[in-house]
Amino acid sequence: MADTSILRATVTRIDGGITAPLGFTSAALHCGIKAKPGALDLTIVAAERRASAAGLFTTNLAQAAPVLLSKRHLQQTTGLARAIVVNSGCANACTGSQGLADAETMAREAAAAIGCAVEDVLVASTGVIGVNLPMGKVASGIRSAGTQLARGRGSDTARALMTTDPFPKEDAVRVETAGGAFSIGGTAKGSGMIEPNMATMIGLLTTDAQVPPAILRRALEESARDTFNAITVDGECSTNDTLFAMASGASGVAIDEDSYPALLEGLLAVSRRLAVDIVRGGEGATKVIRVTVQDARSSDDARRIARTIANSPLVKTAVHGADPNWGRIVAAAGRSGVQFDIDRATVHVGGVRLFENGLPHDDAAPRAAEHMQGTDVDIHVHLGTGGGVEATIWTCDLSAEYVRINGEYRT
């Protein structure tokens, strides 16, 4: 029988972000993509030696050049990489053959800067669609960043990813098990065009655990399912959505089937913090909404109903106005396409019962409205099917500021 002691892990938050794990350095600078002087718009995250790597990408059929290139490189190396280079302010999407050539140049310059093969470099871009990169500035910036790589600069990388994000997002944890301790760090960006169905617009995760590429890929998929894949700001899937993970092995702690749960627990802790921060920083957002659907017949059913509610403009605007309009919640659940009996369903907002067994409880509305005045709003829908399965999706309210931001995005 396998030793189950290593399955028990203690997860503690630590400082350092993306370079908290051993074996990773980063650098970030302003290369001139963003118009604002000094605004960080380029970053490199590098491993000291070739590391296990995995990536999840947008399901949008209009995929940006860096997405296509990074997919190719991961296939060529069978899940290995040395560096990730990211620019913000320009998505390099819908830019044709020139865009792909520019992404290849970014990889080539980063490879030369750190001394590795071109296919060992992964590339990501975020920003305005349909605009070519100023490659003279980008190439020069990559060369400069390559000379500045160091630990302790994770916060700069977090800021360099930002576009319309109101604040940078980073996190790190230390995972202690009977087999030793390892760290996981991460950073992400995303504020609009967020319903990725894979990850967020850009997410970077690192660990100093020793993880085979196949296990790292599995853990990334599994952790993203209930974190980065469980958020939505506006129901829009970007051309550039990318989530990368790299494992340096520098801690000496090897991950196998027995210790896999500890790796997953750490990835979930970092990914959930980053994912919820993306929602909290959604364009024009003033509230985070947690939609939990309970007693579904399957995980897919629970997620489908929760996502339909979370993406409803009527629900999101009601939350913005602190209006406990349970009818909008029930209507969204009913149009999700998932079968359930409305006469057995229950809706709570902030723990306040507003609808039960086909009948309203409007006398409780003032207490629910008081809860909705806060910055964190909980919506619970119990389907009453007897299935016993639940899922949670995080979203934010929909405000006039969201309309203003996106109405002026290019102008």
User: Does the structure show a pLDDT above 70 at 192?
Assistant: no
Chosen domain end from 280, 309, 327: 280
The CATH number given to whatever domain includes residue 78 is 3.60.70.12
pLDDT of residue 402: 79
Chosen domain end from 251, 280, 309: 280
Mean pLDDT confidence for 71-75: 98
User: Is the same domain home to 270 and 403?
Assistant: no
Instruction: Give the Cα separation of 148 and 168 in Å (integer).
Output: 21
Which helix (H) or strand (E) segment holds residue 77: the answer is helix 65-77
User: Is the same domain home to 260 and 324?
Assistant: no
pLDDT digits (tens, 9 = 90+) for 261-277: 999 999 999 999 999 99
User: Is the same domain home to 136 and 223?
Assistant: yes
User: Is the same domain home to 268 and 292?
Assistant: no
The count of structural domains within the chain is: 2
Helix axes 213-225, 260-280, angle to 10 degrees: 40
3-state secondary structure 80-145: EEEEEEEEEEECCCCCHHHHHHHHHHHHHHHHHHHCCCHHHEEEEEEEECCCCCCHHHHHHHHHHH
Instruction: Pull the structure tokens for residue 389.
Output: 């399965």
User: Is the same domain home to 78 and 189?
Assistant: yes
Mean pLDDT of the chain: 92
User: Is the same domain home to 197 and 252?
Assistant: yes
User: Does the structure show a pLDDT above 80 at 201?
Assistant: no
Strands (E), 306-351: 346-349
pTM value is 0.90
User: Is the same domain home to 255 and 159?
Assistant: yes
| Residue-wise DSSP of 211-268 | --HHHHHHHHHHHHHTTGGGB-SSS-B-S--EEEEEE--TT--B--TTTHHHHHHHHH
pLDDT bracket for residue 4 (50, 70, 90): very low
Which residues, including other chains, have CB under 8 Å from residue 49's CB and lie 6 or more apart? 23, 82, 248
pLDDT digits (tens, 9 = 90+) for 74-124: 999 999 999 999 999 999 999 999 999 999 999 999 999 999 999 999 999
User: Is the same domain home to 120 and 264?
Assistant: yes
Question: Is residue 200 annotated as part of the catalytic site, yes or no?
Answer: yes
Instruction: Pull the structure tokens for residue 327.
Output: 């009818």
User: Does the structure show a pLDDT above 60 at 6?
Assistant: no
pLDDT of residue 60: 83
| Residue-wise DSSP of 281-316 | T-TT---EEEEEEEEESSHHHHHHHHHHHHH-HHHH
Greater confidence (47 vs 281) lies with 47
Instruction: Give the Cα separation of 50 and 410 in Å (integer).
Output: 39
User: Is the same domain home to 379 and 331?
Assistant: yes
Instruction: Give the Cα separation of 228 and 276 in Å (integer).
Output: 8
User: Is the same domain home to 134 and 93?
Assistant: yes
Greater confidence (59 vs 315) lies with 315
User: Does the structure show a pLDDT above 50 at 189?
Assistant: yes
Chosen domain end from 228, 260, 280: 280
The CATH number given to whatever domain includes residue 336 is 3.10.20.340
pLDDT digits (tens, 9 = 90+) for 248-260: 999 999 999 999 9
| Residue-wise DSSP of 384-404 | -SS--EEEEEEEE---HHHHH
Q: Rounded to an integer, what is the distance from CA 316 to the centroid of its chain?
A: 21
User: Does the structure show a pLDDT above 50 at 2?
Assistant: no
pLDDT of residue 144: 98
User: Is the same domain home to 219 and 308?
Assistant: no
Mean pLDDT confidence for 21-36: 97
The active-site residue, picked from 77, 163, 200, 239, is 200
Which residues, including other chains, have CB under 8 Å from residue 276's CB and lie 6 or more apart? 231, 288, 394
What's the half-sphere exposure (Cβ side, CA atoms, 13 Å) at 307? 23
Mean pLDDT confidence for 356-373: 95
Structural domain that includes position 364: 288-407
User: Is the same domain home to 316 and 264?
Assistant: no
